[in-house]
Amino acid sequence: MYGPKGQSSGAGRPPAAPKKVTVPDIRARKANGPPIAMVTAYDFTMARLLDEGGADMLLVGDSLGMVVQGHPTTLPVTVEEICYHGRAVARGARRAHVVGDMPFMSFQVSPMQALENAGRLMKDGAFESVKLEGGEEIAEHVRRIVAAGIPVCAHIGLTPQSVHAMGGFKVQGKGEENAARLVRDAQALDEAGAYAIVLEAIPPDLAEEITAAVSVPTIGIGAGAGCDGQVLVCYDMLGMYPDLRPRFAKRFAEVGEQIMAATRAYVDEVQARTFPGAEHSFKPNGPRRITPPAEPAAAVLEEIPPHWQTH
Ligand code: KIV
């Protein structure tokens, strides 16, 4: 592991920074593989772990409105909030490409509004690309952003910013007409210059058809195994909602159970006064002295872990 300023926590030198995943790398995965592994992240500590684990792309999704802030939808999320979380995630992402979600009403108004806010995400949020929800109707917005040199990841199918129009978080693309519209949407976004397209909650055969119909990688969530990559919300992937099991979200760990068990053990030890023990305490001060101890402040700081020293 490495500290926030790149310092090695062991005796050796800091590890060399790994090569960043770039937009051309992501595009090339369509032809050459391996499938893209994308996951959401909202803070520095989680980003660092997901990056070390090998995630190719970290998405600061507007899902943060639901999983970080506790709202029932993503609609309240602001550009400022996405940028705040983006800066934290960017500090933890040494290799992964970092994508910022454009929140509700930050791009729908016009291609110019979309361009201005995409620019804010890149400048204030430290993002390397932006993601927009919507189909053919936002193709012009995508074109304007891409023309300014900002890479765009598109997002079709279940688009949570339209939850009220869709009547809930429901599978999309059912029936001939809806399926054909989604294929047209994907082609329009590909043609407008998007470098990847997220396909959310659509039947797997339709996702395969779309994947074959576009020149850029598709990244599925609830869209089957035929996409060029997959994305999950990190807390779903880690099993942090013990009572919520969406069909599409495989739990790769049971971190929620572990957090609760660890908390119960901590509470028990605090109440029993068995924590902190001598091994978790600093050296006793000895008999009370009038004059301050002679050690320089740096000697005390050495005992404090590197991630504390930054605060
Ligand atoms: O906001 C988000 O987290 C997303 C992913 C689920 C694709 O858009």
**What band does 131 get if pLDDT is binned at 50, 70 and 90?**
very high
The pLDDT of 251-259, averaged and rounded, is 96
| Binding site as annotated, residues | 62-63, 101, 131, 133
CB 204 within 8 A of CB 225: yes
Which residues form ligand 1's pocket by a CB distance below 6 Å?
A: 40, 59, 61-63, 101, 155, 198, 200, 221, 231, 233
Q: How far apart are CA 121 and CA 83, in angstroms?
A: 6
Q: Which CATH superfamily is domain 18-237 in?
A: Phosphoenolpyruvate-binding domains (3.20.20.60)
Q: How far apart are CA 10 and CA 252, in angstroms?
A: 29
Q: How far apart are CA 153 and CA 131, in angstroms?
A: 5
Virtual CA dihedral for 307, 126, 24, 216, nearest 10 degrees?
110
Q: Where are the beta strands (DSSP E) in 94-195?
A: 97-101, 129-133, 152-157
pLDDT tens digit string along 73-95? 999 999 999 999 999 999 999 99
**What band does 293 get if pLDDT is binned at 50, 70 and 90?**
low
pLDDT at 257: 95
What is the pLDDT of the chain when averaged over all its residues? 92
Q: How far apart are CA 23 and CA 145, in angstroms?
A: 15
| Binding site as annotated, residues for Mg(2+) | 62, 101, 133
User: What is this structure's pTM?
Assistant: 0.89
Catalytic status, residue 279: no
Q: What angle do CA 63, 69, 71 make, to 5 degrees?
A: 75
